[in-house]
Amino acid sequence: MEGQTLQLIGSLVAILVLAAIAWALKLGRSANIEDAQHAMALASEADSGFDPAEAAVSRDGACAIVADKTGRIMVLRGHGAQFAGRVLEPGSATQVETHALTVTPADRRYGPVTLDLGDQAQAWAERIDALHTAQDA
Amino acid sequence: MPDFSPVDYAVPGFVLLVLAEMLWARWKAPQAYEPKDTLVSLAFGLGSTVAGLLLGGFALAVFLAAYEVRFFTIGWAWWAWPVCFVLDDLKYYWVHRFGHRSRWFWASHVNHHSSQHYNLSTALRQTWTGAFTLGFVFALPLVLLGFHPVMIAICGGFNLIYQFWIHTEAIDKMPRWFEAVMNTPSHHRVHHATNPRYLDRNYAGVFIVWDKLFGTFEAERPRDEEPIRYGIVKQLGSFNLLWAVFHEWIGMLGDIWRAPWKHKLSYLLREPGWSHDGSRETSDMIRARWQARQDANEPPAQAPAGAPQEKPIAGPRRAA
């Protein structure tokens, strides 16, 4: 039992050391979305059934919002060195403050995404809110 | 009866190889590693060891009881080891295939696939909840044949060690003869890919021949032509360890709870992505849609003069 405890402590130390080395080596460049075309390419990679038609990229390049030809909307954000997207479902919440649109997908574990969209923020919020109406209709 | 756990001896080697791959990544592919992802993967490995200590006793007890009613007594003869290793690898193929094709098993196995990176630390991203899937039942035929449970466990340990080194992008292709018979980094990259073409392919542990035999093999395309995207169809988007461990169990139990009575069992046993109202997609559906698009975009083949005008390619490939 004592041996197993020592082994576990040793493993834990090794894990922390390896993660620290990964940090020290500056591995994992943070992911940036370059432009609308890049956002649309990422959206179709995230969901092969998503056929992007238009996109808006946050001014900091950290996240984007993409609509497909059928009216579905996906939010995308950097996740470490990669990207993760969510197609928004009814129940997703929006909040607009000046030019910042915060989207909280119905899948709460994905977490909220705040996009600096300039004067497009309100229009995108309304499109997302309309997803509820489409569901209720 | 030998008292030997090969994985225990391999752990220092795992650590050194992860370190070596990190150094390779520093110069060649910095995006191959992400510190938070690495931390989660390694924590999975440690937690899996603890879960094995806590829950593995049940499977061992079942094996020892089954061994008492075995059909033959194979014992510890030298030839029994390679035979056991090959049969255990065949068993691995099937338990792994079930791990992808039944949501109950997937709820546990998804842990190994939830990283969007593919490196040696991903190999250590092992499940904590394997005991809840009863996957060990797949080894019972070997026990009943007369292979001692300890021999099976040791062979399984070597199998796991073999699979460590194939989780890397640092190696492109092995020699042709090796690629033909053995599981390799190239074959296993396909297995971890979410590209529709690659979904639910290459389940092998050590010998890729099982996939070729059972129709689930897919060769890796040149990565500059078709870059691989790793992870799961719906990426987690979170580095929360506990969410990564339990998310599919929570999703599956929620679906079973909400489903009409006649569909509850299907949410447990049918493939991931199945839904009673057709609102979600299985890997077969994703691949079929992708294949249909490929076919639609493909320019018609120029048939030689006089040749019959038939479509040269059959419909979408069925997933296993």
Hey, is the C-beta of A12 within 8 angstroms of any chain B C-beta? yes
Q: Locate the domains of chain B by residue range.
A: 6-214, 243-295
Spatial distance between the Cα atoms of B268 and B40, rounded to a whole number of angstroms? 27
Which residue of A79, A88, A135 to mutate against B (max B Cβ within 10 Å)? Answer: A79
- Do B41 and B118 form a contact (C-beta atoms < 8 A)? no
Q: Which of B182, B49, B44, B234 is nearest to B121 (CA)?
A: B44
Tell me which architecture the domain covering A36-136 has in CATH: Roll (2.30)
Hey, is the C-beta of B8 within 8 angstroms of any chain A C-beta? yes
Spatial distance between the Cα atoms of B217 and B231, rounded to a whole number of angstroms? 19
Q: Locate the domains of chain A by residue range.
A: 1-29, 36-136
B241-258 and B35-67 helices, crossing angle to 10°: 60
Please answer yes or no on whether B25 and A25 come within 8 Å at the CB atom: yes
3-state secondary structure of B282: coil
Beta carbons within 8 Å of A31's beta carbon, 6+ residues apart: A78, A79, A80, A81, A82, A83
pLDDT digits (tens), chain B, 320 positions: 667 889 889 999 999 999 999 999 999 999 999 999 999 999 999 999 999 989 888 999 999 999 999 999 999 999 999 999 999 999 999 999 999 999 999 999 999 999 999 999 999 999 999 999 989 999 999 999 999 999 999 999 999 999 999 999 999 999 999 999 999 999 999 999 999 999 999 999 999 999 999 999 999 999 999 999 999 999 999 999 999 999 999 999 999 999 999 999 999 999 999 999 999 999 999 999 999 988 988 765 554 444 443 333 333 333 33
Spatial distance between the Cα atoms of B234 and A46, rounded to a whole number of angstroms? 8
Output the pTM of the full model: 0.90
Hey, is the C-beta of A9 within 8 angstroms of any chain B C-beta? no
Q: Which residues of B touch A82 (CB under 8 A)?
A: 34, 116-117, 231, 235
HSE toward the beta carbon, residue A128, CA cutoff 13 A: 27
Please answer yes or no on whether B22 and A21 come within 8 Å at the CB atom: yes
Q: What dihedral angle (degrees, nearest 10) is formed by the CA atoms of B191, B192, B194, B198?
A: -10
Q: Which residues of B touch A41 (CB under 8 A)?
A: none
The alpha carbon of residue B294 is apart from the nearest alpha carbon of chain A, in Å, by: 12
Spatial distance between the Cα atoms of A5 and A1, rounded to a whole number of angstroms? 6
Instruction: Give the closest of B38, B237, B239 to A110, CB-based.
Output: B237
ipTM here: 0.89
* Residue matched to tokens 């229009």: A123
